[in-house]
Amino acid sequence: MNLQTRKINFVQEFLQLSNEEIIDKLEAILNQERKKYFEKNIKPMSLDKFNKLIDKAEKDASEGKVTEAKVLKKAIKSWD
């Protein structure tokens, strides 16, 4: 059974649950495992990379390569 099929089967089984205690436990496990995954796989940015990003942002701003928030918000509304 592939992962997609397993997920679908799990969701179908989950939707049939009526015991709130089991749902609470499954939520706790999911949150716990997600936290472990992110702590294991997400690495902090190096100070050098952080400084380079700041330098690039400052250069872009001084060259006018920026978008005003109101313009961006208007563009986002048109995405719907």
Please provide residue 59's backbone torsions phi and psi, each rounded to the nearest 5 degrees.
-65, -45
CA distance 68 to 76: 12
Counting residues of the chain whose pLDDT is more than 90, the rounded percentage is: 91
For the stretch 16-55, pLDDT in tens is 999 999 999 999 999 999 999 999 998 889 999 999 999 9
User: What is residue 1's predicted lDDT score, i.e. its pLDDT?
Assistant: 81
Burial 40-69 (b: 16+ CB within 10 A, else e): eeeeeeeeeeeeeeeeeeeeeeeeeeeeee
For the stretch 2-21, pLDDT in tens is 999 999 999 999 999 999 99
Distinct helix (H) and strand (E) counts, the chain:
4, 0
Residue 57 clears pLDDT 90, i.e. is over it: yes
